Amino acid sequence: KYFLISTCKTRIAVAFLLFSVSKSWSQNDLKNWNTAQLNLSFTKKMDLRLSHLRAYNVTDNYTSDFNQSSAHLSYDLTKKIDITAGYTFGGSSSLTDGGSRISGKLGYKIKLADAINWSNAIQAEIHSKSETRYHYRIIWNTRLSPKKRLDFLNLAPSVSYSLFYNIGGNPIQYYDSKTGNPAVRQTPDGFHRGRLMINLNSKITKHTSLSLYYMMQREFNLLTSEYRRMNITKPATGKIVRAFDNYNVIGLTLQHDINLYSKKE
């Protein structure tokens, strides 16, 4: 009964947020990402996370955007340091994060004033050839969350930011800004994407939790030289090449945890 009531409240909240964000950021696409996730704990230090994501474009009549399945194995080296290796496979109807990739991540977490958990991570990715905008990515992520859950709905709020550095992909023809003549043809390597996420995680049962989050993606040319930029204009036609992919996401993640070891371990 409690689960049904919580789910109903969550659906109402999602509908309200979808409407509000759609009105506030109508110049950018609004998307809805829904994820089912299973966490398997083999030991106190080793976990396997299996997940499947279904993404929809709300702005475009709620059409299917892409599907994505992944498996990530993590291990705690110490209480503060962990490593993760993963594989992600995606099927895309657009250029939104399609294709497959393998990744490795090194994370570090500390406590601030014994009240806030602060985690940072560096992730490296290798993408398949179907991803034409880049072949490699390096991602820095930082996240803040309270040490203890709130009494209200057993919530654990958090805020995080990710900065992406792209390497490789299909090259771009760059032009001299004064003459308009072709200058150099190369890949737009550099800091080109940022993601801000605000998340509310509610512990429904001992092993099941539900997260409602808002994510804002913005692309840019941060500390990027003239001939490594994206979103450039072709002089002869005025066409924008490698346009910025800006959008907002309202998402839900349902997670279930299973311990496969005895507590005595």
Nearest by Cα to 57 from 88, 89, 23, 18: 18
Q: How many CB atoms lie within 10 A of CB 28?
A: 17
Q: Are strands 190-203 and 172-175 parallel, antiparallel or unpaired?
A: unpaired
What value does the mean pLDDT take over residues 64-74? 95
Q: Say which range, 27-41, 125-139, 251-265, has the weakest mean pLDDT.
A: 251-265
Rounded Cα distance between 153 and 202, Å, is 6
At 106, is the pLDDT very low, low, confident or very high (cuts 50, 70, 90)?
Answer: very high
Q: Are 195 and 246 in contact (CB under 8 A)?
A: no
Among the residue ranges 24-28, 98-102, 150-154, the one predicted with the least confidence is 24-28
Question: Given this model, what pLDDT does residue 195 score?
Answer: 97
Question: Mean pLDDT over residues 85-108, rounded?
Answer: 81
> Which pTM value belongs to this model?
0.87
Higher pLDDT, 2 or 77: 77
Measured distance CA(138)–CA(206) in Å, rounded: 35
Q: Please, are residues 183 and 157 in contact by the beta-carbon 8 Å criterion?
A: no
Confidence of residue 87 (pLDDT cuts 50, 70, 90): very high
Per-residue confidence band for 16, with pLDDT thresholds at 50, 70 and 90: low
- HSE (side-chain half, CA atoms, 13 Å) at 79: 3
- Residues 34-58 have pLDDT tens digits of 999 999 999 999 999 999 999 999 9
Query: pLDDT category, 8, cuts 50, 70, 90?
Result: low
What's the pLDDT score for residue 153?
A: 86
Q: How far apart are the first and last CA of the chain?
A: 34
Higher-confidence residue of 194 and 151: namely 194
Q: Average the pLDDT over 21-35 and give the result.
A: 76
Kindly state the percentage of the chain with pLDDT values over 70. 86
Q: Is residue 248 a contact partner of residue 218, using CB atoms and an 8 Å limit?
A: no
Q: Could you tell me whether strands 247-259 and 29-41 are parallel, antiparallel, or unpaired per DSSP bridges?
A: parallel
Residue 15 has pLDDT above 70, yes or no: no
Q: Quick: pLDDT tens for 167-186.
A: 999 999 999 999 999 999 99
Beta bridge pairs of residue 194 = 163, 218
